[in-house]
Amino acid sequence: MKMNTPRAGSLNFMAEDMCRRMGVEYVPTPGYSDRVVKRGVELSPELICFPMKVLIGASAEALDKGADTLVTAAGYGPCRFNYFAEIQRRILEREGYSFKIITFDSPFDAPRDFLRNMRAVLADSRLGVVGLVRQFPLMLRKGRLYDMTDKRAMASRALEAEDGSVDRVVEDCRRIAAGAFSKEEIEEAEASVEAAFSSVTLETGRPHIRVGIVGEWLVCMEDYFNFSIDRWLADRGAVVERGLYSSDIFTPWGKYPVLGMTGDEIEREAAPYLHGEIGGHGQVSVAAAANFARRGFDAIVHLMPFTCLPEVVARTLFKRMSEDFDVPILSISIDEQSGRAGMQTRLEALVDLAWSRKRAPRKPA
């Protein structure tokens, strides 16, 4: 078995770690590029959402590099991610590829299917189901370490006393996390990452704005699609916080440890605007935006793929949220036609607005 999973944030990092534990070869998804997107657009239905096109192109590239087993997940609610795996299988088989696809639903929704898929994944593994269950928390802990590195970096770049010091620490932390395997090694890596960030000199008194980023998983986390928005904002004095991380998505029991909220807290934050799940990450987008607004953030950026149904619903709610909290919220739709210049022009207007509001004297209540 030569396994492949989609690329989004720390997912590739976690999947490669788990394959190492299983003794299975892992074929990473190539980094996203114009070539990958163009290939996906050519193979996919015209009006399918942008992540589906990207996934098709990336999977074809992975199969070309030797992968023979695609492991993915199914969605829920109105999100069309429910159908991605089947559409993906049909399109790629039509193109002449021979492969196996394993699609995981939630174990709470379909426990028998979930167990059957686990056995399929473990067919060539040195682990059994019990062994995989024992190794999963270690993989997830490494994923959280990867994501916490991202979170700390986004909160620090705008305040670093020496240009580039945060990025150098991030590189060191990535290397430290990749080398950890056992529980003891991961604990040592966590301590080393904490020490590395503590060594960065920050000018905490420097004037800055706070900007939250919410939206769909792929475009929020992958620099290729959002044009490294967190670094761009940091260069303009923004301390950035994101509302979604891959390790949170795969953490069971309704916990989002990197975001710092539980499933119940997410429901409560979203409840004034959204009273239930709408598929994808729509509810998390609304909850995280509300949380950022309550905490006094100066602006919020909402990144959504073109035609993404859950994020379209979320976007319609942000107008009222913006009025309720008096915070500017900018929704940006991203697809294969998106360009850096157009996106940055809109972001520049948002940043200018946030800075002008911060500098202006507050009106008495």
User: Domain containing 365 — which CATH number?
Assistant: 3.40.50.11900
Which pLDDT does position 80 carry in this prediction? 83
Q: Is there a domain that residue 132 lies in?
A: no
Q: Is there a domain that residue 133 lies in?
A: no
DSSP state of 279: S
Residue 199: φ, ψ to 5°: -80, -10
Same domain (yes/no): 178, 235:
no
Which pLDDT does position 111 carry in this prediction? 86
Same domain (yes/no): 202, 212:
no
User: Residues 143-175: pLDDT tens digits?
Assistant: 999 999 999 999 999 999 999 999 999 999 999
The distance of Cα 67 from the centroid of its chain, to the nearest Å, equals: 23
Which pLDDT does position 365 carry in this prediction? 46
Same domain (yes/no): 335, 346:
yes
Q: Is there a domain that residue 236 lies in?
A: yes
**Domain span at residue 330?**
208-365
Q: Is there a domain that residue 214 lies in?
A: yes
Q: Is there a domain that residue 301 lies in?
A: yes
Q: Is there a domain that residue 166 lies in?
A: yes
Q: Starting at the edge strand that comes first in sequence, how are the strands of the sheet with 25-26 ordered?
A: 25-26, 2-4, 69-73, 100-104
Q: Which DSSP helix (H) or strand (E) runs through 71?
A: strand 69-73
Where the chain has pLDDT below 70, the residues are 76, 361-365
> Position of tokens 């429901």?
267
User: Residues 303-334: pLDDT tens digits?
Assistant: 999 889 899 999 999 999 999 999 999 999 99
What angle is formed at CA 157 by the lines to CA 324 and CA 335, rounded to 5 degrees? 65
Same domain (yes/no): 19, 83:
yes
Cβ count within 10 A of residue 225: 25
What mean pLDDT, rounded, does the chain reach?
93
Same domain (yes/no): 101, 219:
no
Same domain (yes/no): 51, 101:
yes
Same domain (yes/no): 294, 362:
yes
User: Residues 45-54: pLDDT tens digits?
Assistant: 888 889 999 9
H-type helices in 3-65, by residue range? 11-22, 34-43, 50-64
Contact 102, 89 (CB under 8 A): no
Same domain (yes/no): 234, 304:
yes
Q: What total of structural domains would you count in the chain?
A: 3
DSSP state of 74: -
State whether residue 259 is helix, strand or coil: coil
Same domain (yes/no): 212, 201:
no
